[in-house]
Amino acid sequence: MTDVLLPSATLGMLGGGQLGQMFALSARVLGYQVIVLEPDPHSPAGQIADQHIQAAYDDEAALKQFAAQCDVITTEFENIPAHVLNLLAESCPVRPSAFAVEKAQDRMVEKAFIQSCNLLPVPYADIHSEADLATALKTVQLPAILKTARFGYDGKGQIVIHNEEELNAAFKSLGKVACVLEQQIDLALEISVVLARNAAGESQCFPVAENIHKNGILYQSIVPARVDANIAEAAQVAAQRIADKLDYIGVMAVEFFVTKQGALLVNEIAPRTHNSGHYTQDACVTSQFEQQLRMICNLPFGDTRLLSPVVMTNLLGDVWGDSQPNWDILLADSNSKLHLYGKKEARIARKMGHFNTLADDVEQAKQKADAIMQGLTPC
């Protein structure tokens, strides 16, 4: 039987980004201590934690000190090397495990894993070297997207391909690193499932989110998703199957594509809390961050019930321009809740914060959120 960790226990967070920050905020509300390990001296989570160990993820002495001080360790960042998680696991429980995190670090491994769960990834081909390019074109329909197998996020490391010349040039421009070539899907919509799974193998899903992306970056999540109930149900079942196969402990997300023909394809797996789950902070009984804490501490599930239709809108650095956004427009709306991550520099495409807009239905929430976004950008 796994030990239950009660308030005042010390929780370790690998990674100092906004997902770590929002976890740390939830943990503090519940009376836990948080130690963040993160190289950046000014990280969002480092500002909130009880202790910030400023060290690289492969600094063995720092990792040992971290593990010695924590009762359990979790992560907010999928690119922590598996051997680091295994090293930590020698002296402290690490949830999720290196095995689970590793499956989501490399698109080739991830897609093979999705197939091993009897689920459908987007049609794709593996590319290890130039020799694989011609074969890939025979198996993947154009237009397609060339994606680096590792370290891609927010649409980075992706190039749209219309013909063989473009594929050759794109592979070169990505540095000839391992890639996947994916068919570009004619999307009806994108949805995601955030779910929690405990050490006893029980899992619970949050309501399915409908996601709108702009330039490969999440723009809005709409909940409830405007999708056929059977597809929403199938997505939750698929996400639970993936979590079971990973023997996952914690909170994770699965992103799906719904094609114009009504097929459900698995896009990718995130072994952590997810941007499309931020709506839970203001619209569910339990947030994804509290649920993450509950799972790693072996506490019972918090209720995942949706209390109100909601639209979550991301605030990218683009909204800042040369000055602060017109916050008064957002703050004047009594049903919009602002979350800012404390990042000092507002760069283009950098996630600076988000806001959740609640309303009687998602159409109204979306209209209001879109109007707020229009008004936020300084003229």
Residues that bind ligand ADP (CB under 6 A): 122, 145, 152-155, 182-185, 187, 190, 213, 216, 255, 267-268
Question: Which of Mg ion, ligand ADP, none is residue 335 near (CB under 5 to 8 Å by kind)?
Answer: none
Q: Which stretch binds Mg ion (CB under 5 A): 40-48, 89-97, 103-111, 247-255?
A: 247-255
Residue with Cβ nearer ligand ADP (57 or 256): 256
Nearest partner of 269 among 99, 36, 14, judged by Cα: 99
Supply the minimum distance, in Å, between the C-beta of residue 177 and ligand ADP: 15
Question: Which of ligand ADP, Mg ion, none is residue 38 near (CB under 5 to 8 Å by kind)?
Answer: none
Q: How far are the Cα atoms of 16, 18, 43, 109 from residue 67, in angstroms, in the given order?
A: 16, 22, 20, 28
Q: Are strands 250-259 and 203-205 parallel, antiparallel or unpaired?
A: unpaired
Supply the minimum distance, in Å, between the C-beta of residue 325 and Mg ion: 25
Q: Number of residues in contact with Mg ion, rule: CB under 5 A?
A: 1
Residue with Cβ nearer ligand ADP (260 or 305): 260
Residue with Cβ nearer Mg ion (71 or 255): 255
Question: Which of Mg ion, ligand ADP, none is residue 184 near (CB under 5 to 8 Å by kind)?
Answer: ligand ADP
Residue with Cβ nearer ligand ADP (81 or 152): 152
Residue with Cβ nearer Mg ion (198 or 276): 276
46/38 Cα distance (integer angstroms): 7
Q: Which stretch binds Mg ion (CB under 5 A): 1-9, 171-179, 183-191, 249-257?
A: 249-257
Residue with Cβ nearer ligand ADP (99 or 153): 153
Q: How far are the Cα atoms of 68, 251, 326, 359 from residue 207, in angstroms, in the given order?
A: 37, 14, 32, 16
Question: Which of ligand ADP, Mg ion, none is residue 126 near (CB under 5 to 8 Å by kind)?
Answer: none
Supply the minimum distance, in Å, between the C-beta of residue 255 and Mg ion: 5
Supply the minimum distance, in Å, between the C-beta of residue 78 and ligand ADP: 9
Question: Which of ligand ADP, Mg ion, none is residue 110 near (CB under 5 to 8 Å by kind)?
Answer: none
Question: Which of ligand ADP, Mg ion, none is residue 327 near (CB under 5 to 8 Å by kind)?
Answer: none
Q: Which stretch binds Mg ion (CB under 5 A): 5-13, 88-96, 119-127, 252-260?
A: 252-260
Residue with Cβ nearer Mg ion (182 or 255): 255
Residue with Cβ nearer ligand ADP (213 or 245): 213
Supply the minimum distance, in Å, between the C-beta of residue 358 and Mg ion: 25
Supply the minimum distance, in Å, between the C-beta of residue 287 and ligand ADP: 22
Region of residue 98 (left: phi > 0; alpha: psi -120 to 50; beta: else): alpha
* Per-residue mark of binding to Mg ion, 253-292 (x: CB under 5 A): --x-------------------------------------
Answer for the pair 306, 285: CB distance below 8 angstroms, yes or no: no
At residue 339, φ and ψ (nearest 5 deg) are -130, 120
Question: Which of ligand ADP, Mg ion, none is residue 145 near (CB under 5 to 8 Å by kind)?
Answer: ligand ADP
Supply the minimum distance, in Å, between the C-beta of residue 153 and ligand ADP: 5
Q: How far are the Cα atoms of 80, 351, 354 from residue 246, in angstroms, in the given order?
A: 17, 29, 30
Question: For 276-303, b where at least 16 C-beta lie within 10 A, e where not — what string?
Answer: bbbbbbbbbebbbbbbbbbbbbbbeebe
Nearest partner of 7 among 280, 251, 293, judged by Cα: 293
Residue with Cβ nearer ligand ADP (267 or 281): 267
Per CB under 5 A, residues contacting Mg ion are: 255
